[in-house]
Amino acid sequence: MLVIKDLAVKFPNRFGDVTAIEDVDMVIKPGEIHGLVGESGAGKSTVGAAVIGLISSPGYIAHGELTLGDTDLRSLTPEQQHAIRGDRISMIFQDPQTSLNPLMTVEDQLIETIQTHSDVSYSEAHKRAVDLLEEIGIQNAKERIKAYPHQFSGGMRQRVVIALALCTDPELIIADEPTTALDVAVQHQVLDLIRELADRREIAFMLITHDIGVIAQVADRVTVMRNGKVMETGETKQVLGNPQHPYTIALMDAVPPLDEKIARFRLPVEEAQAQAVADKGVKAKEWLLEGEQTPPMGLDVRNLTMRFRGARTSLFKKPESFTALDDVSFTVPGGTITGLVGESGSGKSTLAKVLTGLLTPQEGSLTLGGEELPLGKARGRLHPSRRLTQMVFQDPYSSLNSRHKIGYILAEPLWLYGLIDDADERRAMGAAMLDLVGMPPDAMDKYPHQFSGGQRQRIAVARAILARPKFLICDEPTSALDVSIQAQVLNLLKDLQATFGLTILFITHNLSVARQMSDNMVVLRNGRIEEQGPSEQLFSNPQAAYTKTLLSLTPTMPKEWRQAS
């Protein structure tokens, strides 16, 4: 049983001590999964690091108690701490790709861990390793144990990581975002495994995650953190179903539900104020509407096939090609949002690149607003679609040039497409547009790194809109953002779409987000379309088996919890 009392961790820097977490209290009983949820910077991982004694230098525990069973974790010498790590406390990291040594077989890594912590013979350790792999559901463990990590799939690899954590029969496992890097189906399996281990082996789990759906699915108790402080703690059903703290309530409101479409996300007060500011962007709004005299443009994708040349396996054989998109056809009706969903590797991003002309497909045709779009390199630099099609990228940290001021970034489309000739006028329009997306106009003279992810994404949206596009591609625009920021950006996109009659292709891996945003849906898998249709119909009555599985595996909150809030 882990008891944390009044824990505070500080990081000294040259301006004094920065408090990472304080007043953290928590009790995790054996067999209990304790969810630790919060947005980035909330201090979730610091709690885990403090427990396992791996706070990154120069951070230190300022005060508080940490007890595991009857051991006081703070009074241990570094050697004793080292002995406890991996023996009584284990850890599962986010990315199975990097937490396993790629040059050692799974067998060697398991046996090494077992022999470090207990004095057993090689053959005994080997037997235990095979048993472990069988226990966590790897079939044919005797053979598979000889394999290297890269020979396992992502989900299997995370299972191996869990097996490593289990080697020494720990009392407590700290799982730091264990399923964030995994696809929905695999995530489901890993979460099931964690639940099963907690029940069967009576292991206490600290499950650190930003995903409330994950918490709702497996956690017994949950602690909500923000800015290093505990906001609310209690049984999962209690905290998520009937939140008391205003922050938790706001957080729950921001979670997109999978089972119904809501018009807008309810947002806390500060956001309402930001929306009031947004009404000031009248100038930008009028200017945009002036450009919207033409009817909305739809996109028609016909028989698109994109093949990449594969790796050369022999000097004399032609390399085999890899088909990223296979005969993809769909229509995005003008003035509507079409959601494009699929797991990683399904070809979503490739499709976006083909649409924007960054890649040249082997076959197929594209039609935007009734006119044929040249494919790939055939689309000249000055082709009108360059302006009509704009894109919002996934990672707002890389989509804005960090060496340019926001004012410059926003003026660029106006200058490039010759929309406004006067430099001062361009600047004024950029500022008005910032208003429209809910950002203060003094942002004009700042650099991108001075803004948070959500603010940057707003700027990226402003840049895209300033080109007066008819067709907007959003490639996972919120997957790098925290859930409350995601709600803000999604609201913004909905508002802009409704006001200016934009046609949007919304690419995402998150079905709940897709449901909130889209009028029509396309489900992509391995480069092929599994199912497409009006989204309400698709969600309420999915036809393809793949869509059904996806829907059933997406972690979600019971409906009654949400309505209670």
Q: Footprint of other proteins on this chain (CB under 8 A)? A: 14, 356-358, 380-383, 386-387, 390-391, 393-395, 398-404, 412-413, 416, 463, 467
Beta-bridge partners for 90: 173
Contact 298, 332 (CB under 8 A): yes
Contact 82, 88 (CB under 8 A): no
Two structure tokens written together for 443: 């942002």
Q: Which of 18, 564 has the CB closer to other proteins?
A: 18
Q: Which of 222, 400 has the CB closer to other proteins?
A: 400
Return the DSSP state at 85. B
Contact 267, 491 (CB under 8 A): yes
Q: What is the identity of the amino acid at 542?
A: P
Q: How far is the CB of 393 from other proteins (least distance, A)?
A: 4
Cα distance from N-terminal residue to C-terminal residue, the chain: 32
Neighbours of 118 (CB within 10 A): 14
Q: How far is the CB of 402 from other proteins (least distance, A)?
A: 7
Q: Which of 144, 379 has the CB closer to other proteins?
A: 379
- The burial of 13, by beta-carbon neighbours within 10 Å (0-12 exposed, 13-18 middle, 19 or more buried), is given as exposed
Q: How far is the CB of 442 from other proteins (least distance, A)?
A: 16
Q: Which of 59, 357 has the CB closer to other proteins?
A: 357
How many whole angstroms separate alpha carbon 455 and alpha carbon 467?
19
Q: What is the dihedral of CA 340, 343, 344, 345, to 10 degrees?
A: -80
Pick the closest to residue 340 from 531, 478, 540 (CA basis): 531
How many whole angstroms separate alpha carbon 493 and alpha carbon 511?
17
* Alpha helices, H only, 292-397: 348-356, 385-388
Two structure tokens written together for 215: 């918490």
Q: How far is the CB of 555 from other proteins (least distance, A)?
A: 29
Pick the closest to residue 309 from 318, 317, 299 (CA basis): 318
Q: What is the identity of the amino acid at 34?
A: H
Q: Which of 258, 462 has the CB closer to other proteins?
A: 462
Q: How far is the CB of 503 from other proteins (least distance, A)?
A: 17
Q: Which of 317, 381 has the CB closer to other proteins?
A: 381
Q: Which of 34, 348 has the CB closer to other proteins?
A: 348
Q: How far is the CB of 219 from other proteins (least distance, A)?
A: 35
Q: How far is the CB of 52 from other proteins (least distance, A)?
A: 24
Q: How far is the CB of 403 from other proteins (least distance, A)?
A: 4
Q: Which of 109, 394 has the CB closer to other proteins?
A: 394
